[in-house]
A = this chain, B = another copy of it.
Amino acid sequence: MEARLDKNPIVLLELVERLGNLMRTELRKAGSDEGLQPVHLQALVYLSKANRYSNTPQALADYLGLTKGTVSQTLLLLDRRGLIERFEDDIDRRVVRLRLSAAGERLLYESQPALPWQNATRNISPNRIRNAVSALREALETLQEDNEGTMFGDCQTCSWSQKLSQRIYRCGQMGDRLSGPETRRICRIYRAKVEEAV
């Protein structure tokens, strides 16, 4: 009798891929009224959550796993539609800062791309969701390390984050002070804390 191979990781992969595919078609439906492709909505969602270090074309490309050339075209389209605004960075005049326009915010609010997912998870206990998040997060971090890809996360679990007072935090890497809401945005210079047993 041979040692039984654990097939569960493969099952998990199938689930992730399949859910990813289905959510992509959900995004397609959500964006079809406006003539937007899935990747356009993903970009808008990202920009609505990116913090001050992460609202650039390069960061978006890393996040979506696309090349900067491809992302540049996506941004061109979103700009032409008036859904985002682009402006130069004050310090480094090469980098472009991105921001949702009012129309972009409104579009995101009205199309509600996450709604089917929220319905689909309504009956899953918070505890099980937390566990799933924890496992997938670890998979993602390892995958990114193996790929030398950029890590993304928020200050809650970032080892650079320092708590200065009740409401004020500080990023030990960049040296800036961050307000409470800012610590919940997506950041590209994220570095994971050492794992605690769960």
Determine how many copies of this chain the complex contains.
2
Given contacts A19-B143, A123-B142, A13 and B117 within 8 Å (CB-CB): yes
Centre residue among A13, A114, A136, A152 by max chain B CB count within 10 A: A136
How many A residues have CB within 8 A of the partner chain? Answer: 55
A residues near B (Cβ < 8 Å) are 6, 8-13, 15-25, 42, 63-66, 114, 116-124, 126, 128-140, 142-144, 146-147, 149, 152, 198
The contact sample of 23 A-B pairs, CB cut-off 8 A, is A8-B129, A9-B121, A10-B114, A10-B118, A12-B121, A12-B129, A13-B117, A16-B136, A18-B140, A18-B152, A19-B136, A19-B139, A20-B21, A21-B63, A21-B64, A117-B143, A120-B140, A120-B146, A124-B139, A128-B135, A128-B198, A131-B131, A131-B132
